Chain A
Amino acid sequence: MQDKIFKGLLILSAIVIPVIGGGIVYSLTNDAAGAFERFGFFHFIFSDDWVTTAGKESYGALPFITGTLLTTILALLMCIPFSLPVALFTGEYFKGRKIATVLGTVTDLLAGIPSVIYGLWGFYVLRSVFIHLDLSPQGSGILTAAFVLAIMIVPYAASLSAEFVKMVPSELKEGAYAMGATRAEVIKRVVFPIAGPGIFSAYILAIGRALGETMTVTMLIGNTNQMPDTLRTTGNTMASIIANQFGEADGLKLSSLIAIGLLLFLITAIINLIGKILIRRARRV
């Protein structure tokens, strides 16, 4: 009897997750319907209008989708040259040594810093550096946001990739050494081919993380609703436009912002699902 109650409780608590997940999709779709009906699903995605004047309201998601993709791709490109060495450092060169634990703690702490504080640091410190180096006219913009975003995803990508670098069987590496391979050759010919799928999935998950990052980007991207034409200009991402305008929105604008939220949710869900499937497969090998 008590066992049945206990098992019932277990299942009941597990049902909470599908309820929340399904509820998110249902509620977002339901509230986004207004915008999609008014502008049409594809027109909404591919339109770059953002007119808030009453009576002439017209909304489109393209500038924000572009902003999200640009910041994410840039962040990924800037993250790889640092996260890959960290993964090799902790997983191969200094595996199990004290110095690897120290670096592991550093990246863990870096991952723990709240995103508002990253935003503050970017705004008050990095922005002036960017202006000084003439990388961006106002200091804030897509490039600045992507740079800080890259710092934020380095720990995530590095710790996941290190897991796969560590898993490379030492027999294989020793075999290569026995045949006279240098360490660089072992890394290139043995470690990367074997850990490759895992490292790849780690970066997919890092992309998923970068897509939805809100506060840092909102504080650094400059918040303009036009299509960004160069990387030096300001812009907005899907997350930052919601953070900026959701508070005072109503009616069609609210519905449009929720529609952008739905798109963001779907994009991150797909990326994360791909990443998780790949990483589960990589772990099984």
Chain B
Amino acid sequence: MLHILVCVLSGLTAIPLLAILGEVLIKGWRQLGWSFLTEATPNAYKAMMAMSAGETIPGGIANGIVGTFLMLLVAAAVAIPVGIFCGICLSEYRKNWFATIVSYLTDLLQGTPSIIIGIITYIWVVVPTKGYSAFAGSVALFIMMLPLIIRSTEETMKVLPETLKEAGLALGGSYWRVMLKVMLPSALGSIFTGILLAISRVVGETAPLMFTALGGAAISWNMAKPMSAVPLLIWEFFNDPNLQSLIWGASLFLLTFVLCLNLLAKRIAKKWKV
């Protein structure tokens, strides 16, 4: 009796996934095309004109794609080394009071709502530099990624056998050499998985970018200026009735990207299990 109930209720949890995937796919696949991915978002006036003429809205989400990748790149370039080093530190000094505090604070930071990260980056970066910028967006994404990378590095380094390190040290390797050339490479598969999951987690974040990167209609490569991102564009389309027909294409792009990253991370985790 109980097992039937368990199976039915468990099966029901698959429905939202299928419903969301189906909805986004059905409404979005027609829009996804070369021009959608390579052209910038039209302004509301152009979109309105096209709509009243009965044509499809010109343009696409290229400004968001460029922005998302650029901001992620900058954020990841800092978060990955800092996160890995911090993770190594936490696993090396695990009995130390300082490491215990840092470990709890990492959990705390990981649980902090993304909107708070947005506010704090606004206070720290946007206010002093007197303007919204892609750089501020990167800082927000950095703060979001950091605890995720630290956790995955720490957990992986903790399960590596102590004998591995001892063997390296016994062969006369210096401490840093053993850590970077023996321990880190053995953990690389899992750490890489952690990085992919961290990226897939932040790539869809809207809240921390709203008051930092702000958004912009043109394709921009300037980190000191406001920049758009795909989730920001979705939010923009949601609020602008003229651009609403672009929303599903953008969502399909984002969803495909995030879910592929997720599946890739799972595949890698299975293959390179420590």
A: residues with CB less than 8 A from B are 2-3, 5-7, 9-14, 16-18, 20-21, 23-24, 27-28, 31, 81-83, 85-86, 88-89, 93, 103, 105-110, 112-121, 123-125, 151, 154-155, 158, 183-184, 187, 205, 208-209, 211-215, 219, 239, 242-243, 246-247, 257-258, 261, 264-265, 268-269, 272-273, 276
Choose from B13, B120, B176 the contact partner of A28 (Cβ within 8 Å).
Answer: B120
List, in ascending order, chain A residues with CB within 8 A of B111's CB. Answer: 205, 208-209, 212, 268-269, 272
In the bound complex, what is the Cα–Cα distance between A14 and B94 (angstroms)? 12
The 4 closest A-B pairs by CB, nearest first: A212-B113, A114-B204, A6-B176, A13-B85
Given A85-B10, A261-B116, 7 other A-B contacts at CB below 8 A?
A24-B112, A31-B123, A88-B6, A110-B17, A239-B207, A243-B115, A276-B107
Q: Report yes or no: A106 in contact with B14, Cβ–Cβ below 8 A.
A: yes
Q: Report yes or no: B116 in contact with A264, Cβ–Cβ below 8 A.
A: yes
Q: Report yes or no: B1 in contact with A184, Cβ–Cβ below 8 A.
A: yes
Choose from A3, A16, A113 the contact partner of B255 (Cβ within 8 Å).
Answer: A113
Choose from A109, A120, A214 the contact partner of B238 (Cβ within 8 Å).
Answer: A120
List, in ascending order, chain B residues with CB within 8 A of A85's CB. Answer: 5-10
Chain A, residue nearest B200 (CB): A112
B interface, over-half SS: helix
B: residues with CB less than 8 A from A are 1-3, 5-10, 12-14, 16-17, 19-20, 23-24, 81-83, 85-86, 88-90, 92, 98-99, 101-102, 104-109, 111-116, 118-120, 122-124, 143, 146-147, 150, 174-176, 179-180, 200-201, 203-207, 210-211, 231, 234-235, 238, 247, 251, 254-255, 258-259, 261-263, 266
Choose from A103, A109, A112, A212 the contact partner of B114 (Cβ within 8 Å).
Answer: A212
In the bound complex, what is the Cα–Cα distance between A103 and B206 (angstroms)? 28
List, in ascending order, chain B residues with CB within 8 A of A116's CB. Answer: 204, 206, 231, 234-235, 238, 251, 254
List, in ascending order, chain B residues with CB within 8 A of A243's CB. Answer: 115, 207, 210
Q: Report yes or no: A108 in contact with B262, Cβ–Cβ below 8 A.
A: yes
Choose from A17, A110, A121, A261 the contact partner of B23 (Cβ within 8 Å).
Answer: A121
List, in ascending order, chain A residues with CB within 8 A of B120's CB. Answer: 23-24, 27-28
Q: Write the nearest CB–CB distance from A84 to chain B, whole angstroms.
A: 8
In the bound complex, what is the Cα–Cα distance between A57 and B82 (angstroms)? 44
Known: A14-B89, A82-B13, A125-B23. A114 touches B231 (CB 8 A): yes
In the bound complex, what is the Cα–Cα distance between A222 and B174 (angstroms)? 61
List, in ascending order, chain A residues with CB within 8 A of B101's CB. Answer: 18
Q: Write the nearest CB–CB distance from B56 to chain A, whole angstroms.
A: 19
Choose from A10, A125, A261, A268 the contact partner of B85 (Cβ within 8 Å).
Answer: A10
Q: Report yes or no: B88 in contact with A120, Cβ–Cβ below 8 A.
A: no
Q: Report yes or no: A14 in contact with B115, Cβ–Cβ below 8 A.
A: no
Q: Write the nearest CB–CB distance from A233 to chain B, whole angstroms.
A: 22
Q: Report yes or no: B23 in contact with A124, Cβ–Cβ below 8 A.
A: yes
18 contacts between A and B (CB under 8 A): A12-B85, A16-B146, A17-B86, A88-B6, A93-B7, A116-B231, A117-B234, A121-B23, A184-B2, A212-B111, A219-B238, A239-B115, A242-B119, A246-B122, A247-B211, A258-B119, A265-B113, A276-B104
Chain B, residue nearest A100 (CB): B10
Q: Write the nearest CB–CB distance from B122 to chain A, whole angstroms.
A: 8
Q: Report yes or no: A214 in contact with B114, Cβ–Cβ below 8 A.
A: yes
Known: A14-B90, A17-B150, A246-B119. A117 touches B107 (CB 8 A): no
List, in ascending order, chain B residues with CB within 8 A of A27's CB. Answer: 120, 123-124
Q: Report yes or no: A239 in contact with B108, Cβ–Cβ below 8 A.
A: no
Q: Report yes or no: A112 in contact with B258, Cβ–Cβ below 8 A.
A: yes
Q: Write the nearest CB–CB distance from B195 to chain A, whole angstroms.
A: 15
List, in ascending order, chain A residues with CB within 8 A of B247's CB. Answer: 120
Choose from A86, A184, A214 the contact partner of B113 (Cβ within 8 Å).
Answer: A214
Q: Report yes or no: B112 in contact with A269, Cβ–Cβ below 8 A.
A: yes
List, in ascending order, chain A residues with CB within 8 A of B201's CB. Answer: 112
Choose from B7, B17, B99, B179 the contact partner of A106 (Cβ within 8 Å).
Answer: B17
In the bound complex, what is the Cα–Cα distance between A256 and B256 (angstroms)? 38
List, in ascending order, chain B residues with CB within 8 A of A213's CB. Answer: 113
Q: Write the nearest CB–CB distance from B113 to chain A, whole angstroms.
A: 2
Q: Report yes or no: A154 in contact with B13, Cβ–Cβ below 8 A.
A: yes
Q: Report yes or no: B108 in contact with A272, Cβ–Cβ below 8 A.
A: yes
Choose from B82, B107, B204 the contact partner of A272 (Cβ within 8 Å).
Answer: B107
Chain B, residue nearest A240 (CB): B115
In the bound complex, what is the Cα–Cα distance between A18 and B179 (angstroms)? 24
Choose from A110, A154, A242, A268 the contact partner of B112 (Cβ within 8 Å).
Answer: A268
Chain A, residue nearest B234 (CB): A116
